[in-house]
Structure 1
Amino acid sequence: MNESPTDLALFVAVAESGQLAQAARLLGISPAGASAALKRLEQQLGARLVLRSTRRLRLSVEGERYLPHARAVLAALRAGREALARDAPLQGWVRISAPADLGRNRLLPLLEGFSGMHPGVRFQLSLEDTLSDFFAQPVDLALRYGLLDDDRVVAQPLRVLQRWLCAAPDYLERHGVPDTPQALREHATVCYMQRQRAVTRWRLSHVDGDTVEVDVEPRWVFNDAEMVRRWVLAAHGIALRVEADIGEDIAAGRLRRLMPDWQGESTRLSLVYPDRALSPALRAVVDHLSAALG
Structure 2
Amino acid sequence: MTLRIVPSDMYPTMQSAIDDSSSGDSIKILAGTFDGFEVDVDNLKIFGCGIGRTIIAGAPAQGSDDGIVVNADRTTLQGFTVQGYGNDGVLVISNNNVLKNIKSSLNTNVGICITGRNNLIIKSTSNFNGNAGIDFTDQINTSVHNCAIHCISQNNSLVGYRLDSLHNRIIKSQSKENNIGISSSTDSARNTVMDNKVNNNSIGIIIFLSEMVLNNLFCNNFNSGIVLPNFIIVSAMFNIVDSNIVRNNGTDVTDAGILVEDGTTDNTIRFNKARNNFDFDIEADPPADLNNTFDGNQCGNSDPPGLCT
By relative contact order (CA 8 Å, sep 6+), the higher-ranking structure is 1
Largest Rg, 1 or 2: 1
More helix by share: 1
More strand by share: 2
